[in-house]
Amino acid sequence: MIRPVATLEEHLRRALGDGLLTQEPLRHHTTFRIGGPADYYFAAHVPDHLVAALRAASELGIPVFLLGGGSNLLVSDEGFRGLVVRNACDEVEFDGTAAHIGCGADFLDLIYQCRDRELSGLEFAAGIPGSVGGALYGNAGCYGEDIGSYTIECTITSLDGSKVETKPASWFQFAYRDSRLKRDPRVLISCLLQLRKGNRAEIQKVIDEKLEIRRVKHPQWRVEPTAGSYFKNLPPDWQMPGAKHSPGTRRVPAGQLLDEVGCRGLRVGDAMVFAKHANIIVNAGHASAREVLELAAIMKARVRERFGVELEEEVMFLGEKPRLGGLAGRR
Ligand SMILES: Cc1cc2nc3c(=O)[nH]c(=O)nc-3n(C[C@H](O)[C@H](O)[C@H](O)COP(=O)(O)OP(=O)(O)OC[C@H]3O[C@@H](n4cnc5c(N)ncnc54)[C@H](O)[C@@H]3O)c2cc1C
């Protein structure tokens, strides 16, 4: 008897077991609550499973995407043709003032664990959603600080899971919302961060302050889905036309330019510019990725026309981009 040829799904299931999901809606895994289905989806809770998933995808020739907390992502309405691997390896071990962290750990949860051990440093980032891996990938930060400055080294693997190695922080070339991983992709498995001895009450005070600032200024992503700031702030040498020249000052916020061109409250379908922050797009109902892209194109065009500068997206796009027609391409 001729045995039927195993399907791709059967091959993957043999490698990954019952944790493998098919046609999994990615809107369930992003803070924007937008995104069509992934052909295959697998949450890896231990590093061996993470590497096994990458190897299986590589052997079967399937495109793979590494997902953290999904808080900096806009996923196509058509979803993703391939395997989405969610890094859910979240073990944290402390060694004096250093912490060895599974990159699937939730960033805020890590900050609370540090507070409980009276370890100070990361509390500036309280309220940045997502995983530690996602934070390292984009060197997440705020108020002039970023996670890269606390990094000693990270353990990474090649995308096909064939080579696991540990690299010092310098290798990652951390910069403003940027790391080498954006140009030279690897999967972050774990990292070693350097903290300093602190005081629990003082750390908690900073956490409370940061969370309160966000509560007042930012959407609460669990009720007003969003991916945070949509565009990066301007390069450090960029000056607002007409403004007093002030070299060496911090970046001009993209939100300032977007405000000048009246973007607050702009809406395309259910994609809307947040009323309290012109650089944040919220999903005000059942927004599609197309609507968000159309809205973002209008925002960019307004800034380009008034200031002659091209805003650069901070939010990443996953999947196939639709062709934008009509007003979005022109305004
Ligand atoms: C309300 C709100 C406020 C925000 N405020 C800030 C802020 O103040 N500062 C800031 O910097 N960001 C902010 N963000 C954006 C976002 O939270 C951060 O960029 C966050 O660090 C992304 O982490 P994540 O795990 O959700 O990544 P994801 O969105 O899952 O992924 C983002 C990218 O990282 C890659 N990635 C994730 N994990 C790994 C891994 N283990 N190995 C390799 N690549 C990986 C993904 O492939 C993808 O390319 C905000 C977002 C929201 C919704």
Q: Count Cα neighbours of 298 within 13 Å in the Cβ-side half-sphere.
A: 22
pTM here?
0.94
Ligand 1 is surrounded, with C-beta below 6 A, by 31, 66-73, 87, 103, 128-131, 133-135, 137-138, 140-142, 177, 181, 187-188, 218, 221, 226-228, 316
Which letter, b or e, does each residue of 270-286 get, where b requires 16 or more Cβ atoms within 10 Å of its Cβ?
Answer: bbbbbeebbbbbbbbee
Contact in structure between 64 and 74 (CB atoms under 8 Å): no
Task: From 89, 122, 137, 181, give the residue whose CB has the most ligand 1 atoms within 8 Å, as the site to mutate.
Answer: 137
Q: What is the pLDDT of residues 112-168, one digit of tens each?
A: 999 999 999 999 999 999 999 999 999 999 988 999 999 999 999 999 999 999 999
pLDDT value, residue 330: 43
In this structure, the chain runs to a length of 331
The domains located in the chain, with CATH, are: 8-87 (3.30.43.10), 92-203 (3.30.465.10), 220-330 (3.90.78.10)
How far is it, in rounded angstroms, from Cα 24 to Cα 263? 34
pLDDT digits (tens, 9 = 90+) for 64-121: 999 999 999 999 999 999 999 999 999 999 999 999 999 999 999 999 999 999 999 9
Under 8 Å CB-to-CB from 91, ≥6 apart: which residues? 101, 102, 105
201/111 Cα distance (integer angstroms) = 13
Integer CA distances (angstroms), 214 to 90, 141, 142, 175, in order:
25, 13, 11, 23
